[in-house]
Amino acid sequence: MELRHLRYFVVVAEEGHFTRAAERLGMQQPPLSQQIRALEQELGFDLFRRHPKGADLTEGGMVFLGEARNILASVEQASRRAALAANGSEGSITLAFTSSAAAHPLIPRVVRAYREEWPRVSLEFKEGNAAELTEEIVAGKVHVAFLRLPVSRPPGVVFQPLQEEEMLLVLPVGHPLLPRRTPDTMPVIALKALRDEHFILVRRHGAPGMYSSLIDACVRAGFTPKIAMEVDRMLTNISLVAAGVGISAVPASMKGFHAESVVYCRISDDEPGLSAPLTMACMASGMPPAVGHFLALAAQMAVGPATRPAMPGRQTASRPKR
């Protein structure tokens, strides 16, 4: 039994006449009658009672008509959904973030813009450190991850820098290095003034690039920083600074956290290495079309509307009409 047999049967049932059904189908009447006979033989019962004025459905034919219509409707719906998935208008994407990357204002803007642009695509979200998210990309559990600096670069994974921002020092309110009165501008502190401070840093496996850059900058300023504690998430180190455990450094986009308990300060030293990149990671190839649209949108929004860089290993997909 083929789908065309079901379509022929439904048209004959709706017309109640083989000749009119053949005209509607754009075929000759004898071949149509032969196809219906073949269908009846396969089913083992008659679908129509034939008479000089046309053809009426039998009891079995009436039941079969409802089922045939349901089958054809399901096939049509499957075809439509498959077409939407093929052009990226439908599907699902798993997005993941490190806590500090999620705090960057670009991330919610991209997610919101994508949801408005592609409302039929389902988004799932995960959080983890850079090492965990890189492993989940390789394992196929995450499509796109936003992190700061790559911890490792497995084959087949591409890392695209999106933006850079400065690193800020985080000190607890009332710290001796802070001005007694709240200044109109953000306080500025030299790294060398921190030689006696205890630092709270993200563990090396979670953010080795920024961790190492800060230590190297301190060494260039004449001292090796004292590490009070290592944590897994940057939000945790801000909370510990607020509790008076030590000081830390975070990307500038995190400066709103615990604003009543900590003070964010610029670093006066000329340290170009002390910056916090925002990086987008994904597999270099084999991504579903919906993921391709997300990557293109994120890259476009990161640099502005004038340029749309393509991720390596894929072509930027144009948005189909919906």
Task: Classify residue 309: in a domain, yes or no.
Answer: no
Are residues 148 and 291 both part of a single domain? yes
pLDDT at 318 over 50: no
Q: Does residue 311 belong to any structural domain of this protein?
A: no
Please say whether the beta carbons of 8 and 21 come within 8 A.
Answer: yes
What CATH number corresponds to the domain at position 143? Answer: 3.40.190.10
Within a 10 A sphere around the Cβ of 252, how many other Cβ atoms? Answer: 16
pLDDT confidence of 144, banded at 50, 70, 90?
Answer: very high
In this structure, the answer to whether residues 231 and 252 fall within a common structural domain is yes
Q: Same domain, yes or no, for 120 and 101?
A: yes
**pLDDT score of 248 more than 90:** yes
pLDDT in the model for residue 256:
84
pLDDT digits (tens, 9 = 90+) for 51-88: 988 999 999 999 999 999 999 888 887 777 777 666 66
Check whether residue 203 and residue 169 sit in a common domain: yes
Residue 132: count other Cβ atoms within 10 Å of its Cβ. Answer: 20
What is the 3-class SS of the chain, one letter each residue?
A: CCHHHHHHHHHHHHHCCHHHHHHHHCCCHHHHHHHHHHHHHHHCCCCEEEECCEEEECHHHHHHHHHHHHHHHHHHHHHHHHHHHHCCCCEEEEEEECHHHHCCCHHHHHHHHHHHHCCCEEEEEEECCHHHHHHHHHCCCCCEEEECCCCCCCCCEEEEEEEEEEEEEEEECCCCCCCCCCCCCCCEECHHHHCCCEEEEECCCCCHHHHHHHHHHHHHCCCCCEEEEEECCHHHHHHHHHCCCCEEEEEHHHCCCCCCCEEEEEECCCCCCCEEEEEEEEECCCCCHHHHHHHHHHHHHHHCCCCCCCCCCCCCCCCCCC
194 with 257, same domain: the answer is yes
Average pLDDT estimate for 25-33:
91
Is the residue at 268 inside a domain? Answer: yes
Instruction: Please give the residue range of the domain that contains residue 178.
Output: 163-276
Q: Do 107 and 255 touch, CB atoms closer than 8 A?
A: no
Tell me if 160 sits within 8 A of 106, measured CB to CB: no
User: Confidence class of residue 204 from pLDDT cuts 50, 70 and 90?
Assistant: low
- State residue 305's pLDDT score: 41
- In contact, 237 and 218? CB cutoff 8 Å: no
Mean pLDDT of all residues in 205-217: 74
Same domain, 141 and 290: yes
What total number of domains does the chain contain?
A: 3
Give residue 184's pLDDT. 74
Pairwise pLDDT comparison (219 vs 78), residue with the higher score: 219
Please give the average per-residue pLDDT across 42-52, as a whole number: 91
Does residue 100 share a domain with residue 28?
A: no
Write down the pLDDT at residue 272.
54
User: Is the full-model pTM beyond 0.75?
Assistant: no
- What pLDDT sits at residue 88? 66
- Output the CA–CA distances (angstroms, integers) from residue 62 to 2, 48, 58, 59, in the order listed: 19, 9, 6, 5
Assess contact for 232 and 200: CB atoms under 8 A.
no
Q: Does 258 share its domain with 155? A: no
> What CATH number has the domain bearing residue 50?
1.10.10.10
Q: Is residue 288 part of a domain?
A: yes
Cα–Cα dist 251/3, whole Å: 60
Q: What does residue 141 show for φ and ψ, rounded to 5 degrees?
A: -90, -20
Q: For residue 95, what pLDDT band results from cuts at 50, 70 and 90? A: very high
